[in-house]
Amino acid sequence: MKKMIAWFCLLYSCPQALTAQEQQAIHSETTPWPSSLENESELYTMEGYRLFRYRSPTPKQHDQAITVSTQQLVTLLKQLPAPILLDVQPLIWKSGFFIEKEPRLHIPSSYWLPNVGQGELEEAWADYFLQYLQDLTQGRQDYPIVIYCTADCWMSWNAVKRAAQWGYSHLYWYRDGSDGWQEADLETAEGKPEKFTP
């Protein structure tokens, strides 16, 4: 009965405020995630890659990389050799083109490799990621690499895990991503995705 009242008020703008219980009833009815995902384990592949809800709170640390703060990253970028910066923010790929709805502002000198942080990666995207890793590091798997996207983004977490499984051993995870960089009022550059040939 309360759900019916809540829906009626939602549709016809009842003046009284909904109770917390009624709001929860609406939320539970309209939540887009299937009930099968209520089990956290089903958010991951058998290999441990995150599959859904990529924009949600991430772990504080990554088991296969050194997690760096904004200030630590600024210091790291002054060292030699300077680490390679990989932005893995996702981007729509359609009919042979990346579709950018708005400019992507990221850390200067970053290479933007969209979509390589998907939980399940098609072969063409895996080849794209691996080829750039090999080219940018000149085949050195111990070369320092920083991987990021935005804050609370599992794409970067997945990409770090994937690079580690391919043997890259000197990895950094910038968990706060471009959001943290911009919040610190640091210089940004407009990103352009690296060429992808499926």
* pLDDT for 151: 96
Q: What angle do CA 22, 24, 25 make, to 5 degrees?
A: 65
Residue 180: name the closest of 158, 164, 156, 161 by CA.
156
| CATH numbers and ranges of domains, the chain | 2-31 (no CATH), 55-191 (3.40.250.10)
- Average model confidence (pLDDT) across the chain: 83
CA gyration radius, the chain? 20
Helices 154-165 and 123-136: crossing angle in degrees, nearest 10, is: 70
Contacts with 21 (C-beta within 8 Å, 6 or more apart), sequence order: 2
pLDDT tens for each residue of 134-154: 999 999 999 999 999 999 999
Give 146's strand partners. 85, 172
pLDDT tens for each residue of 32-45: 334 344 456 688 77
pLDDT tens for each residue of 53-100: 878 899 999 999 999 999 999 999 999 999 999 999 999 999 999 999
Residue 126 buriedness (CB in 10 A; 0-12 / 13-18 / 19+): middle
* pLDDT for 53: 83
Which pTM does this prediction carry?
0.79
List C-alpha distances in Å: 35 to 9, 23, 28, 48, 92.
26, 19, 10, 20, 27
> Residue 52: pLDDT above 70?
yes
